[in-house]
């Protein structure tokens, strides 16, 4: 019997020993913004997955992202000041291909525009549960 699907030969059908979400967070804690690369079809993917959404391969490798991207869409969420105030939410197309949700820091919400070139950084939030890290962007 032949393997019709790429990346499904027995020696390649190896799933990671922890959730890819956990691995993503582990990299962030190490100050690295990493995304998965599919060694079968050569696409990058996000958010972290067990199989490649393009070709279903499980031969996925973590690579550090360039952090370079372009704003694809933006919205300003309106909230009362006591609830945290207004903030922007963006979708960013990474130069590697995937699109992800984030926010743009460092400029007024109204100045965030579709097509704007942005660069990723890792933001640290500290609360009673400890540190959580997330990828945010600034104007490039």
Instruction: List residues binding other proteins (CB under 8 A).
Output: 21, 45-47, 53, 72-79, 84, 87, 89-91, 98-103, 114, 132, 134
Residue 38 binds to Zn ion (criterion: CB under 5 A): yes
- Tokens for 18, please give them: 């922890």
Q: Which does 124 bind (CB under 5 to 8 A by kind): other proteins, Zn ion, none?
A: none
Least Å from the CB of residue 119 to other proteins: 17
Name which of 21 and 64 has its Cβ closer to other proteins: 21
**Token duo for residue 26:** 């582990």
* Partner touching 38 among other proteins, Zn ion, none, CB below 5 to 8 Å by kind: Zn ion
CA atoms of 108 and 88, how far apart (whole Å): 9
Helix (H, G, I), strand (E, B), or coil: what is residue 73?
strand
Residue pair 10/58 in contact (Cβ under 8 Å)? The answer is no
End-to-end CA separation in angstroms for the chain: 51
Count of Cβ atoms closer than 10 Å to residue 71 Cβ = 21
Q: How far is the CB of 98 from Zn ion (least distance, A)?
A: 12
Are residues 34 and 21 in contact, defined by beta-carbon separation less than 8 angstroms?
A: no
**Partner interacting with residue 108 (select from other proteins, Zn ion, none; CB below 5-8 Å by kind):** none
41 binds Zn ion (CB under 5 A): yes
Which of residues 28, 36, 46, 52 is near Zn ion by CB under 5 A?
52
């Amino acid at each position: 019997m032949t393997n019709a699907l790429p990346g499904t030969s027995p020696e390649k059908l190896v799933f990671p020993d922890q959730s890819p979400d956990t691995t993503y967070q582990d990299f962030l804690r190490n100050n690295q913004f990493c995304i998965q690369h599919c060694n079968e079809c050569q696409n990058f993917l996000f958010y972290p997955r067990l199989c490649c959404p393009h070709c279903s391969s499980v031969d996925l490798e973590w690579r550090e992202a360039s952090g370079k991207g372009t704003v694809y869409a933006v919205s300003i969420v309106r909230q009362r000041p006591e609830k945290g105030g207004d903030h922007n939410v963006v979708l960013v197309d990474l130069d590697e291909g995937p699109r992800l949700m984030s926010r743009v820091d460092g400029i007024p919400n109204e100045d965030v525009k579709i097509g704007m070139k942005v660069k990723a950084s890792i933001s640290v939030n500290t609360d009673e549960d400890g540190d959580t890290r997330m990828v945010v962007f600034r104007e490039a």
